[in-house]
Structure 1
Amino acid sequence: MQIDHLKMQFKGFTDRIDAMSLRERGLIFVTLLVALYFVAVNMLFGPVYTEKDRLQKQLDQRHEETRLLETRVQNITVGDASSPEETKRRKIASLQENLKSMDVALDRATAGLVPPREMAKLVEQMLVKNHGLEVIKMESLPSAPLLEAGAETDGKASESMVYKHGMRIELKGNYLDILRYLRSLEGLEWKVFWGQVTLQAEKYPVSRVSLLIYTLSTHQGWIGL
């Protein structure tokens, strides 16, 4: 009895849809598309953003520790003229070892992220597997320091910086094909970060998506396209 009632409700709903004009159907489609988009973003990217925040805090901490060590090295080198040379050398050597440890920690923090030079190739390979999508634009963005360098932009400080390497991609296709592609990127063994994702509904059933993805490394090298 309950099943028959549900069938009647569903038939009534489909009859109302059939009675609507093409414009009204389009509005319903756009509304459903937006709702599905927000649900998908929340389910798909929620864990990614959590991991991004965790890594950001870890990198902030490492960067601050490195900055303090570099300041101590500079103070010993310039301001501790009264100390014997051998003592100064030992202090500097100890601090330099600490800096090396910080560099290793930064490398570990970025381990598992796709190398910048491989990101474009990886994105293209995933597109080949999704034949229903059309590439509108794909461009590399200039690499930039993840954190503000301030006055410490030379010498060892520049070697200890973490750089963000971004890529902007615009795709067009069926909504489900777009969602499948985003899931395939999120499920890769090599990880990327998501900066921004925007979805625009075009003529049914086509949608356009613009996404910004990026990776991190301790090198400033560009992404090749």
Structure 2
Amino acid sequence: MLNNLQEKFEALTQREKIIVIAAILIGIWVGWDNFFYQPSQKKQQTLDKELTSLKQQITEQQLTIIKLESGSHIDPNLNNRNKLAELKAEYNRLQELMLQGSKSFVPPHLMASALSDILTKNNQLTLIKLDTLPVTTLLESKQPQRLPIYKHGLAITFFGSYLDTLNYLAALESLPWHFIWESIDYRVVEHPTAETTIKAYTLSFKESWLGV
């Protein structure tokens, strides 16, 4: 079947070949945007809002705790002590919620193996390279007491057809953890083989680098 398609493609004029390749690229972009990028962006935006809200609550609780602790030696009383205990308990609860929120993402030290292992299981795809990206913070904050969130990214490049590439992305989406897709670069090398570079990242409260 592939030979028949290749023969039909070779029989086309140069202009027709360009139109076919352009249509394939547009189809790839639409498929990736609808099935992977947009859902991933919505997940990320929801998580960002939740984490930002939690961080704001934690900061407010910390400031109140500091205020009560600094004034406890001046006017110690039972109400203040009870309020302080409640705030500390709430602070610990919020910190735990933050940690639970990060568990839905693939752990940084497992990200490289997750991307490469699933790719090698697909005999139609060939791994070219797997590179780490610089660690960055998700949200910049001038308040040192806020818990930082770090982005750990990878760029994976491989050869394969359009359908095999989509199957690979679908396999990644079916994992119990999820990634945040940053970009995809799909370039036809020799029809139907293309070179694809995918950049993805995960979130963590730890800055330690992921192993590759």
Q: TM-score range by the shorter chain?
A: 0.7 to 0.9
Distance 1:208 1:81 in 2: 67
- Displacement of 1:126: 0.3
Partner of 1:219: 206
- The change in CA–CA distance for 1:64 and 1:121 in structure 2 (over 3 A counts) is same
1:195 is the counterpart of 2:187: no
The gaps in structure 1 that reach 5 residues or longer are 1-15
**TM-score relative to the length of structure 1:** 0.78
Q: Which amino acid aligns with 1:72?
A: T
**TM-score relative to the length of structure 2:** 0.83
Q: Is the 8 A contact 1:69 1:99 kept in 2?
A: yes
Q: Which amino acid aligns with 1:140?
A: T
Match of 1:118 among 98, 105, 110: 110
Q: How does 1:113-192 map to 2 (within 5 A)?
A: 113-152=105-144, 157=145, 160-192=147-179
Deviations 1:147-172 (A, max 9, x none): 112131xxxx36x3322221111222
The gaps in structure 2 that reach 5 residues or longer are 1-7
Distance 1:39 1:101 in 2: 42
Partner of 1:106: 98
Q: Is the 8 A contact 1:138 1:168 kept in 2?
A: yes
Identity of aligned residues (%): 26
Larger Rg: 1
Query: How many residues are aligned here?
Result: 204
- The change in CA–CA distance for 1:79 and 1:197 in structure 2 (over 3 A counts) is farther
1:73 is the counterpart of 2:65: yes
SS at structure 2 position matched to 1:71: helix
Distance 1:135 1:35 in 2: 24
Match of 2:75 among 70, 83, 86: 83
Match of 1:30 among 21, 28, 39: 21
Q: Which amino acid aligns with 1:99?
A: Y
SS at structure 1 position matched to 2:178: coil
CA-based RMSD: 2.5
- The change in CA–CA distance for 1:86 and 1:167 in structure 2 (over 3 A counts) is farther
SS at structure 2 position matched to 1:32: helix
